[in-house]
Amino acid sequence: MNVEMIEGFLLGVIAASSLTAGVFFLKFWRKTRDSFFLAFAASFLIEGLNRCGILLLQKPNEGSPWVYLVRLLSFLLILGAILKKNYGEK
């Protein structure tokens, strides 16, 4: 096996896992309507779609600034949800 095939497979596993986690949190958001779960669902779904997008590129480059900007957005959603949950209105 060549390295590109293994990297593509692992990237696919990460994408599928992220999308699964996003759907998992979306299920809890539908039950509770807590924005904490919605932010986590959005974050994981964004990250999963980001990984799927990387898979579709002819020459994937995970070191691209655009990839990191999407990841930053994803992590900021999680951070915002945590801060809102701990310090938000009660």
pTM of the model: 0.87
Domain around 83? 3-87
Question: Can you give the pLDDT at residue 60?
Answer: 67
Mean pLDDT of 42-67: 86
Q: How far apart are CA 63 and CA 70, in angstroms?
A: 12
- pLDDT tens digits for 15-39? 999 999 999 999 999 999 999 999 9
Cβ distance 12 to 48 under 8 Å?
no
pLDDT surpassing 90 at residue 75: yes
- Number of compact structural domains in the chain: 1
For 81, residues 6+ apart whose C-beta sits below 8 A from its C-beta are: 35, 36, 39, 40, 43
Question: Can you give the pLDDT at residue 57?
Answer: 80
